[in-house]
Amino acid sequence: MSTKSSHAIENLRRISEQYLEKSDLQIIDIRTDQQKAVEYQIIAVPTLLKVAPNPQRTILGDLSDTEKVLKILDIID
């Protein structure tokens, strides 16, 4: 796992604990589950996919900009 991926996971866990009441997070290692990479069209890592509720969103990077992540996920305006 790359340093950037490790930071993304840490940042996502922190965001989830602080801002998401109920969430189902799945961490997919595309080295071992290449089918998921194809299914979700992952072309860069780390990638965060919000699949439900709509609208779907995709965020690339280490998720260190919490405000930006929250806006993209429609958690804040």
Task: Please state, in angstroms and rounded to a whole number, the distance separating the CA atoms of residues 73 and 77.
Answer: 10
| Distance, CA of 4 to CA of 7 (rounded, Å) | 5
What are 38-51's pLDDT values in tens digits? 999 998 899 999 98
**C-alpha gyration radius of the chain:** 12
- Provide the whole-model pTM: 0.82
Rounded-to-integer distance, Cα 65 and Cα 72, Å = 11
Sorted by where each starts, the structural domains of the chain and their CATH numbers stand as: 3-72 (3.40.30.10)
Q: Where are the beta strands (DSSP E) in the chain?
A: 47-50, 57-60
Q: Is the pLDDT of residue 35 over 80?
A: yes
Is the pLDDT at 1 greater than 80, yes or no? no
What is the model's pLDDT at position 15? 94
Q: What is the pLDDT of residue 9?
A: 93
